[in-house]
Structure 1
Amino acid sequence: MTHKPAARDDVPVYLTPERLAIRDLAREFTAKEVLPVADRLDPERGDIPDGLRQKMADIGFFGIMIGEEHGGLGLGVFEYCLVAEELARGWLSVSGLLARGNGMGGGFTDEQEARLLPRVARGEWLGAYALSEAEAGSDVANISCRAVRDGDEWVVNGTKMWCTYADQADYLVLFARTDPHRDPDKPHRGISAFLVEKERGVFPPGITGNPVRKIGYFGWQTWELSFDDFRIPASALLGEEGKGFYLAVSGLEVGRAHTAARAIGLARAALEDSIAYVKTREQFGRPIGEFQYLRFQIAKMAADIEAARQLMYSVATAIDSGRRCSLEAAMCKLVATEMAERVTSQGIQIHGGAGYTTDFRVERHWRDARLTRIFEGTSEIQMRIISDELLGRID
């Protein structure tokens, strides 16, 4: 006798009708628009089409956290993460594109916000970060790229790594050292941020790029950038000179919640694909979904995903309330991304030999989940943050 699960219409109180509506909109959009594109382009390492980007803009996805006065939706991190999970369920890169609008306006003056944020909300002006370097990943204070003042301009020399979307972006947020006298006790001082406006699809004179040869995260290019006497106007400075480090770390809580949401989306994709597979794949004359071991694996995957999701909801709520939650955000990022690699790997195991082919999506989920443990601060960095909070820092 086959048991049919009872339909559930009860939802937690924090999933308001408005939040459910935006989640369901993103879910429908992913099924209709994102998954078919990912299935076609990920195997050939093709770029996210302009048409898909425009459809995201038309819905308002790039302005989720932009105020209504600037043409955005005026929503919070909670809604941002709801949408990110759904998009990542289809293709991790598309959920990353979401961040090229939302959250990129830190350090803007009132004039810049009024002039630029409406364009961001419409998807007409999307950005990329030029922050990390070969010797400055999580150690942001170790930045060595230099910007030297020359009259009414800054002259930039150095290199940057891991600049995803740098070619297609309409602007870069560039971090460079403007004080040549690095304080060994406070190396984070003397770093400044700059707004580099550029033409979409090309690099301006003075910037060259080499694509990074990645094993996943397809759909867009990740670049190593070289700055060779690259000149920008003095007005390109974002915020106060020498205080760029604080701008770089100001969005970490949001970034880690967003990464957790994306990891959860990948894990959910592996779970849903595995459930569909065990219902149709037969061995020994019966669907493999009737074997207890696989049923228990599915149960464990689902429980792990939900535990990470509830932690992510808690962190998103804390951020929206204005409460500092760096410890909880680190925990959320750690738990969700470690879970995602584990669950997507189990999804491959459930698929057996078929899982180790490109004929099924689960290998894509696994490749991309592996990256979530690295960007926005590695798992090891998150554990350092957590342990320092609990045990005190070690100098």
Structure 2
Amino acid sequence: MGAQPGAGGRAQRSLRAQAGGLRQGGRHRRGLPGGDRRRPNRRRHARRGDDRRGVPEDGRGDGRAGRGFRHDGPPLEPGIAGEVETYQAAWAAARSAAAGAAREWASRTGDELAGAIAEGAAADRSAESFDPAYERVAGLLLAGRSADDVGAGEEHRLLRATLRDFAARRITPRAQQIHRQDGDIPADVISGIAGLGLFGLSIPEQYGGTLADRPDHVAMLIGTEEMAAGSLAVGGSLMTRPEILVRALLSAGTEEQKRRWLPGIASGELLVAVAVSEPDFGSDVAALQCRATSQPDGSWLVNGAKLWCTFAGRAHLVMLLCRTGGEPGHRGLSVFVAEKPSRLGHDFEHRIDSGGVLRGHAIPTLGYRGLHTFELVFEDYRLPGSALVGEQGRGFYLQMESFATGRLQTAARAVGVMQAALRDTLAYTAQRRVFGRPVAEHELARAMLGRMGVRLHASRQLSFAAARLHDQGGGQVEASLAKLYASRMAEYVTRDAMQLFGGMGYGEETDVSRYFVDARVLAIFEGAEEVLALRVIGRSLEKAGDEMRKR
């Protein structure tokens, strides 16, 4: 797909050439900047090693703590603790990491607004926190200041400006109609995102993508933020669809598979969905039951059901995680790629000449509309032998390798939704008059606006810090911290936006009602909030405590 008109030809060429090789800021070699590490008294609550019933401790499946994770508080004491204490410890770590990331950003840039945000983040310890720093943040934002590009390099600024312009022209004007009608994503939005190179951010240039010699996950997050600010589903989640399959192909695919699928994914000619969850198994990935049975001719017959498969109707390629062996748990899972025709609408059926059928039915959802999220049923659905990616029985690991990136992208999607909510609320409260003056001139409203800004930018800086660690091959636990924190903050920020809009915020005519219902899904997918807190972050805190006691 070519460059899109109106976005600036020169900017587009720069984006294509540089999107995979951009860099921003310094790196934290020993972990996220430390904050106030307040610690509930927690003890060990489960056996050590990978969680073979689902999510591995650091998202990789190798049982090691993520590179760069650091716990600055007293050692966590061993023993047996309840899940509530572990959950609280994980949230204390997430808030501390966010405050630390904001503080490092403010120190590095010396910016007045960044400093006020960092001060507010350090004081934000509960849903209803208030601090004098919030009013300072609100004052600067209402005066027209923006912190979106504070500390960013020139190429990241150009990237954000280009994508913001595209979202404002192509996505935002149509987002509410698609949401209210639960309609399909327009083809020109898909081709436009492809033309910007966003489907190919993780695909090397040799396969038609925009990834150069070194990764730049901050660039990926900027792209995700700006698309999600236009619409979580139509923009932010659309561009992230290929990520899990791309990483599986690059890690374990044959050269033939890479050349068959990656160029089409990068160009947007091949759209992607991922089918993992099942009616009885969500985060418990290792317990999946949908089965692929090998046949004498080398093909596979797939039988079973999948649930919550986003974009399955429109997709040409469905990454499918199936049980292929007799072993229970993670060792019996394999990854396949099912090729199918793209279909619009809420229902589809695909019968193949070699036998079998795949049926899909879209599940009505509160928000996150446009992509459509499907229940899939496979009945003797035949796949060729070449559909298997990697070795038989290695599917669990291929799936888990992409979780850190997926969680970073979810944090960025949350930031994008918050960005849109804050933008609209600043504009509305500046002109809407209550009791003889604009809403934004009332003390409580200003404090709420400032708190929204603090939570938005603390989430962004936490995800950026984790992204830089991920560039170096680490950041597994930090990605989970960013996802946990940003997803919850998006719920708080969009709620405050709706509240400040008053009755208009509850009406579907305003976009803030969509932001509110869209934000709710963020804490559920890509690792449910409770799973991340208990099985990823909590266990890593415990390991950090063990390491400190051994010194």
TM-score range, shorter chain: over 0.9
Q: After the TM superposition, which residues 217-232 of structure 1 pair with which residues of structure 2 at under 5 Å, given as runs?
A: 217-232=368-383
Secondary structure, aligned partner of 1:227: strand
Identify if the C-alpha distance between structure 1 residues 11 and 156 changes in structure 2 by more than 3 Å, giving closer, same or farther: closer
Q: After the TM superposition, which residues 167-246 of structure 1 pair with which residues of structure 2 at under 5 Å, given as runs?
A: 167-182=313-328, 187-201=329-343, 203-205=349-351, 206-246=357-397
State the number of aligned residues: 386
- CA shift, 1:60, in A, is 1.4
Provide, for residues 265-321 of structure 1, a one-character-per-residue CA deviation record: whole Å limited to 9, x for no partner: 111111111111111111122111110110011011101111110000011111112
Q: Distance in 1 between matches of 2:150 and 2:528?
A: 31
Q: Distance in 2 between matches of 1:41 and 1:199?
A: 23
Moved more, 282-291 or 160-169: 282-291
1:377 partner letter: G
**Structure 1 position 24 matched with structure 2 position 161:** yes
Q: Distance in 2 between matches of 1:383 and 1:269?
A: 27
1:158 partner letter: G
Matched with 1:45 is 182
Secondary structure, aligned partner of 1:375: coil
Contact in 1 for aligned 2:244/2:274 (Cα 8 Å): no
- CA shift, 1:371, in A, is 0.4
Q: Distance in 2 between matches of 1:296 and 1:102?
A: 38
- CA shift, 1:119, in A, is 1.4
- CA shift, 1:351, in A, is 0.7
From 488, 492, 503, the counterpart of 1:338: 488
Provide, for residues 50-109 of structure 1, a one-character-per-residue CA deviation record: whole Å limited to 9, x for no partner: 111111112212112221222222153211110100111111012111012345322322
Identify if the C-alpha distance between structure 1 residues 356 and 49 changes in structure 2 by more than 3 Å, giving closer, same or farther: same
Matched with 2:444 is 293
Matched with 2:134 is none
Identify if the C-alpha distance between structure 1 residues 272 and 9 changes in structure 2 by more than 3 Å, giving closer, same or farther: closer
Matched with 2:479 is 329
- CA shift, 1:22, in A, is 1.1
- CA shift, 1:12, in A, is 4.9
Provide, for residues 195-250 of structure 1, a one-character-per-residue CA deviation record: whole Å limited to 9, x for no partner: 11111115422111121111111112111111111111122111110110001111
Q: Distance in 2 between matches of 1:51 and 1:114?
A: 25
Contact in 1 for aligned 2:242/2:273 (Cα 8 Å): no
Normalising by structure 2, what TM-score? 0.68
Secondary structure, aligned partner of 1:98: coil
Identify if the C-alpha distance between structure 1 residues 377 and 7 changes in structure 2 by more than 3 Å, giving closer, same or farther: closer
Matched with 1:164 is 310
Contact in 2 for aligned 1:319/1:325 (Cα 8 Å): yes
Contact in 2 for aligned 1:156/1:231 (Cα 8 Å): yes
Contact in 1 for aligned 2:334/2:391 (Cα 8 Å): yes
Q: Distance in 1 between matches of 2:475 and 2:359?
A: 38
- CA shift, 1:8, in A, is 7.3
Contact in 2 for aligned 1:66/1:102 (Cα 8 Å): no
1:100 partner letter: R
Matched with 1:81 is 221
Matched with 1:353 is 503
Contact in 1 for aligned 2:322/2:335 (Cα 8 Å): yes
Matched with 1:258 is 409
Matched with 2:83 is none
Contact in 2 for aligned 1:57/1:121 (Cα 8 Å): yes
Contact in 2 for aligned 1:58/1:122 (Cα 8 Å): yes
Matched with 2:533 is 383
Superposed CA RMSD in Å reads 1.9
2:179 partner letter: D
If you compute each CA radius of gyration, which structure gives the higher value, 1 or 2? 2
Contact in 1 for aligned 2:467/2:475 (Cα 8 Å): no
- CA shift, 1:161, in A, is 0.4
Contact in 2 for aligned 1:195/1:237 (Cα 8 Å): yes
- CA shift, 1:146, in A, is 0.9
Contact in 1 for aligned 2:243/2:406 (Cα 8 Å): no
Contact in 2 for aligned 1:315/1:325 (Cα 8 Å): yes
Identity %: 38
Contact in 2 for aligned 1:337/1:373 (Cα 8 Å): yes
2:422 partner letter: L
Contact in 2 for aligned 1:65/1:76 (Cα 8 Å): no
Matched with 2:79 is none
Matched with 2:548 is none
**Structure 1 position 124 matched with structure 2 position 269:** yes
Q: Distance in 1 between matches of 2:326 and 2:380?
A: 16
Q: Distance in 2 between matches of 1:217 and 1:325?
A: 28
Q: Distance in 2 between matches of 1:103 and 1:150?
A: 27
Contact in 2 for aligned 1:330/1:386 (Cα 8 Å): yes
Identify if the C-alpha distance between structure 1 residues 10 and 232 changes in structure 2 by more than 3 Å, giving closer, same or farther: closer
Provide, for residues 135-190 of structure 1, a one-character-per-residue CA deviation record: whole Å limited to 9, x for no partner: 221110010011111112111111000001111101111111111242xxxx1111
- CA shift, 1:350, in A, is 0.5
Secondary structure, aligned partner of 1:42: helix
Contact in 1 for aligned 2:411/2:486 (Cα 8 Å): yes
**Structure 1 position 58 matched with structure 2 position 195:** yes
Identify if the C-alpha distance between structure 1 residues 160 and 5 changes in structure 2 by more than 3 Å, giving closer, same or farther: same
Contact in 1 for aligned 2:221/2:409 (Cα 8 Å): yes
Moved more, 2-11 or 68-77: 2-11
**Structure 1 position 72 matched with structure 2 position 206:** no
Provide, for residues 25-55 of structure 1, a one-character-per-residue CA deviation record: whole Å limited to 9, x for no partner: 1111111111011032211111111111111
Q: Distance in 1 between matches of 2:509 and 2:292?
A: 48
Identify if the C-alpha distance between structure 1 residues 100 and 9 changes in structure 2 by more than 3 Å, giving closer, same or farther: closer
Identify if the C-alpha distance between structure 1 residues 59 and 11 changes in structure 2 by more than 3 Å, giving closer, same or farther: closer
Q: Any unmatched runs of 5+ in structure 2?
A: 1-138, 352-356, 545-551
- CA shift, 1:6, in A, is 7.4
Moved more, 53-62 or 307-316: 53-62
